[in-house]
Amino acid sequence: MNLVAEIGINHHGDEKYTLDYVDKLINTKIDAITIQFRDPQFYKKYKKFILDDSLYGLISSKVKSKKKLFGVALKDPNKIDFFEKINVDFYKVIENDLKNEELMERIFKSNAKKIYLSTGMSDADEIKGVLNKYKNIDKKRIILIHTTLSNKISKVNLESIRFMKEKFLMQVAYGSHCEDYKSILISVGYLPESIFFYVKGDKFEKHPDDEYAIDLDFVDKLISEVNHSQLSIGDYSKKKIFDIIPEQSVEKL
C-alpha cells in the first residue's frame, strides 16, 4: 500500500512555498508526492496558480533523489509530452475527465508506470463504459480511485472500494476528501492499492483543499498511525491466535 501526499494547488502559485512542501515531504516516510496541472481555462481565470515549467523538473529531481515516486494530476493533454520528458512515475485523472477522450487516450499512450482514475463523479455504469471503451489498454497499470465529493465522514462510503474490486476485478485506491482523517485509518481495512490525501502548509490562512487537507507537520504522525493500523489486518484465514500473559502481568490482576 502506497501513501501519496497531494500538494494539488495548495501551493497558491508560490514557488518557494511549493519547494517548502516538497522539501518537507521528501523527508517523511511518504511513498509518493503529486501536484496538479490544471487546464488552460483554469489558468486563464486563476493566473496566480501558474508555476514555471522548470519548477516541475526540479520537483521531479528532488522527489526521485529520495527514492520516492512523483505523480501529476493532469487536466491538460497538451502537457503530457513535457511531463514525459521529466519522467513522471504516474498520472492521476481527476474530476469528470474520464469523459475527456483526448486526455484519456494520450495518458494511456504515455510511459507512466501507473495511471490512477478518480471515480468520484462517476457511478458503476459510467466506469464500466469507460473501461469498455478503452478495452485494449493494459489494465495492469490502471488503478481506480474511490473518493466522494462530500467531506463528511458519513458520506465516505468505503464499501465502494470492495464493490469496485469485485465488480471490475481491478486494483482500487482511496482518495480522501474527508474532513476527519480517521477515514484514512479505517480505509486501511479495505486494502486499497494506495491512499491519497491532500496536504497543506501554514503560509496561507486558506488553501483550495483546506477542509480535508492534512497539515504538513502531521504527515509523519499520520503515516505512523496508518502503519500501526495495518498490523491489525492479518491474513485471509481463521486460526487460533492468542498471546501468553506474562507471569508478572497475572500477578498484577
Domain that includes residue 137, residue range = 2-252
Q: Which helix (H) or strand (E) holds 212?
A: none
CA dihedral of 149, 89, 3, 26, whole degrees rounded to 10: -120
- CATH code assigned at 33: 3.20.20.70
pLDDT in tens, the chain (253 residues): 999 999 999 999 999 999 999 999 999 999 999 999 999 999 999 999 999 999 999 999 999 999 999 999 999 999 999 999 999 999 999 989 999 999 999 999 999 999 999 999 899 999 999 999 988 888 889 999 999 988 999 999 999 999 999 999 999 999 999 999 999 999 999 999 999 999 999 999 999 999 999 999 999 999 999 999 999 998 888 887 776 656 555 455 4
**Grid coordinates representing 202?**
501554514
CA 146, CA 135: separation in Å to the nearest integer?
21
What is the pTM (predicted TM-score) of this model?
0.92
Count how many domains the chain has.
Answer: 1
Q: Which residues of 3-32 are buried (b: 16+ CB within 10 A; e: fewer)?
A: bbbbbbbbbbebeebbebbbebbbebebbb
Cβ neighbours around 59 below 10 Å, total: 23
Tell me the sheet residues that pair with 194: 2
CA 83, CA 79: separation in Å to the nearest integer?
6
In angstroms, what CA-CA distances link 156 with 18, 186, 214? 29, 11, 17
